[in-house]
Amino acid sequence: MGEIKSGEKTRVLVVGATGYLGKRIVRACLAEGHETYVLQRPEIGLDIEKVQLLFSFKKLGARLVEASFSDHQSLVSAVKLVDVVVSAMSGVHFRSHNILVQLKLVEAIKEAGNVKRFLPSEFGMDPPRMGHALPPGRETFDQKMEVRHAIEAAGIPYTYVVGACFAAYFAGNLSQMETLLPPKKKANIYGDGNVKVVFADEDDIARYTAKTMDDSRTVNKTVYIRPQDNVLTQNELIKIWETLTKNELEKTNIAARDFLANIEHLEIPHQAGIGHFYHIFYEGCLTDHEVGEDEEASSLYPDVKYKRMDDYLRMFL
């Protein structure tokens, strides 16, 4: 499993390519000049949006490869075509929760023996730091750890890309739950609102991912997405919006015990969401540890002009 030779095009297979982050990773890989393959699964059936998305990738220059998670040999044949496999399988409870399906991918990569890098589905909180997480949301971290252990036990070179809140879910709504739009009059503040959080535009997360996959500096490492200008408290994020709109919101501070009260009576996806919000906004799990420049994406790739949150919020004006 040697390194990718410089000057040669890196061949990448994207799994979960029609998903929320996956489609962005496909476009970022094409923009980066990678020879991009997209896994086309027969399970797609009559899902017209996904079918059309796949063929839009083909138009952009990606190659479609048919394989199924229920057919091991088809997966082996697919990964034999490439140097790098990147997975963007969903790991959130309110969509589909498919993290452990990646174990089949690990088996195929192990058998194929040619893959020089595997990037499993990560892109959020750093799982080894989340052993204390609240159930049922901790299932996401436990399963990601199970996948990591399988990758490392198989001796597959890896890169784990972690560390930021997706802007569309956490910034546009000023981190309010149950909406994706900014509030007009009132905002809930978690605790004192002064815990540092990392926000990143999903297109930037995809661009960093496409850059890291054939970078020798990031082999067998975790890369943290923590662009300095996007490390903000919830209060700072709301202040940006208030400045843009010239309108002050009425704020309600929610104590941690009130935020977690009655959690067990809620639906499972909602419980998972509350747990994740708690770790991010009350505990500060994205920023409570140091990250060196050699492991931080915006330092490694300064050529990516990442979107600042004032710019991001302007689209809601």
CB within 8 Å of 178: residues ≥ 6 apart: none
> Which among 23, 116, 144, 211 is annotated as catalytic?
144
Dig out the tokens for 296 from the structure. 């931080």
Strands across the sheet with 231-233, in order?
165-166, 196-200, 231-233
Q: How far is CA 208 from CA 25, 147, 221, 245, in A?
A: 9, 22, 14, 31
Q: How far apart are CA 200 and CA 235, in angstroms?
A: 17
Q: How far apart are CA 5 and CA 143, in angstroms?
A: 33
Beta bridge partners of 196: 233
Q: How far is CA 44 from CA 14, 19, 52, 76, 315, in A?
A: 15, 12, 11, 20, 33
Sign of CA dihedral 164, 167, 172, 173: negative
Q: How far apart are CA 98 and CA 88, in angstroms?
A: 10
Q: How far apart are CA 239 and CA 241, in angstroms?
A: 5
Alpha helices in 213-251 (DSSP H): 234-245
Q: Is 144 a catalytic residue?
A: yes
Nearest by Cα to 223 from 242, 243, 245, 200: 200
Dig out the tokens for 219 from the structure. 């082999």
Please say whether the beta carbons of 197 and 284 come within 8 A: yes
Dig out the tokens for 274 from the structure. 């509350």
Active site residues: 144
